[in-house]
């Protein structure tokens, strides 16, 4: 059963067709990937799914609900969270506050409540803190709780982004190049973390990644795009021996 359905998606920037008639689905509880050479349109697809870009045409549904014309915050509320290729943390906020900051969309806090700290307001604040602490512990960075994001080791910053996304309790987690900049040990830790996200929280994961070894290890389904079009899809074994895929990568990146 699919959680995300993308149908005939198009995105035009002036004369450039960044995404061209793209259709694919993401199965519930799967770990899936979108791959493709630089500039293929992968991040543009994520930006449309999360409401940052408005598609020129096409349909996107999360659990049967259309996401077209919805704002990013509405899409978060419907159960989607993402991390970014270039980290988007609040550098001067602590780890705890970074995670709490991602949870507005899930809270009922009104201005009145925030000013006068009603009983329910205090209870909600406690709950927010508990969820944030649980997510921080889950990704393994509790020892950095009070440290500002900018002073964390790079790997921990990447895990913090995942904790912040998890705190919104998504059905679907989109990870944009989660392994970028990580060393071998950190990548192995990331693989375990992504598996635990799916297995322990039943969250479906869709990621963009350039690290083919990592993709092979963790992805159950891959969609390959080139020049905005889907050129192949299937299991890692099927996709990575596909001639069109090898051709698309030839001279650009190495397919392992
Ligand atoms: N806001 C924008 N305005 C104009 N062109 C854009 C914009 N965003 C992306 N593009 C163009 O759309 C195409 C697809 O870009 P996109 O970033 O989606 O590719 P990508 O597959 O994610 O690349 P990479 O792997 O290098 O991150 C590129 O030609 C890019 O220059």
Give the pLDDT of residue 252.
54
Give the pLDDT of residue 245.
92
The answer to whether the CB of 41 is under 6 A from ligand 1 is yes
Q: How far is the CA of 39 from the centre of ligand 1 (A)?
A: 5
89, 154 contact by CB (below 8 A): no
Q: How many residues does the chain have?
A: 256
1, 28 contact by CB (below 8 A): yes
33, 6 contact by CB (below 8 A): no
Structure tokens at 109: 């806090």
Give the pLDDT of residue 104.
67
Structure tokens at 85: 């290729």
Nearest to 107 by CA among 126, 93, 88: 126
More reliable by pLDDT, 243 or 108: 243
The answer to whether the CB of 37 is under 6 A from ligand 1 is no
pTM of the model: 0.91
DSSP 30: -
Chain-centroid distance of CA 9 in Å reads: 19
pLDDT tens column, 132-171: 999 999 999 999 999 999 999 999 999 999 999 999 999 9
Segments of 151-215 assigned E as strands: 172-176, 204-208
250 has pLDDT over 70: no
Domains and CATH numbers, the chain: 1-79+170-256 (3.40.50.300), 90-169 (no CATH)
Q: 184-201 vs 119-139: helix axis angle to the nearest 10?
A: 130
Q: Which atom of ligand 1 is nearest to the CA of 11?
A: 12
Mutational pocket test of ligand 1: of 9, 18, 50, the residue with most ligand atoms within 8 Å of the beta carbon: 18
With a CB cutoff of 8 Å and minimum separation 6, the contacts of 86 are: none
Structure tokens at 120: 């329910």
Chain-centroid distance of CA 139 in Å reads: 15
ipTM of the assembly?
Answer: 0.96
Q: How far is the CA of 229 from the centre of ligand 1 (A)?
A: 13
Q: 154-166 vs 184-201: helix axis angle to the nearest 10?
A: 10
Mutational pocket test of ligand 1: of 42, 49, 84, 86, the residue with most ligand atoms within 8 Å of the beta carbon: 42
Structure tokens at 235: 């299991």
The pLDDT mean for the chain works out to 91
With a CB cutoff of 8 Å and minimum separation 6, the contacts of 153 are: none
Taking the C-alpha atoms of residue 95 and residue 188, their distance in angstroms, rounded to an integer, is: 22
């Amino acid at each position: 059963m699919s959680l995300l359905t993308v149908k005939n998606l198009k995105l035009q920037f002036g004369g450039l067709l960044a995404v061209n008639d793209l259709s694919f689905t993401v199965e519930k509880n799967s770990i899936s990937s979108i791959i493709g050479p630089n500039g293929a349109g992968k991040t543009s697809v994520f930006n449309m799914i999360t409401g940052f870009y408005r598609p020129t045409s096409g349909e996107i549904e999360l659990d049967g609900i259309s996401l077209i014309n919805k704002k990013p915050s509405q899409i978060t509320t419907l159960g989607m969270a993402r991390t970014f290729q270039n980290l988007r943390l609040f550098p001067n906020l602590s780890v705890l506050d970074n995670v709490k900051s991602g949870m507005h969309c899930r809270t009922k806090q009104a201005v009145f409540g925030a000013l006068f700290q009603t009983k329910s307001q205090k209870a909600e604040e406690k709950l927010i803190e508990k969820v944030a602490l649980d997510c921080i512990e889950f990704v393994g960075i509790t020892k950095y709780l009070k440290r500002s994001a900018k002073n964390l080791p790079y790997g921990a910053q990447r895990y913090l982004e995942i904790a912040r996304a998890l705190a919104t309790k998504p059905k679907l987690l989109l990870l944009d190049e989660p392994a970028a900049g990580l060393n071998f040990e950190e990548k192995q830790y990331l693989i375990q973390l992504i598996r635990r996200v799916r297995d322990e929280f039943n969250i479906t994961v869709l990621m963009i990644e350039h690290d083919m070894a990592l993709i092979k290890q963790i992805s159950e389904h891959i969609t390959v795009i080139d020049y905005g079009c889907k050129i192949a899809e299937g299991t890692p074994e099927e996709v990575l021996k596909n001639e069109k895929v090898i051709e698309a990568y030839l001279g650009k990146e190495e397919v392992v």
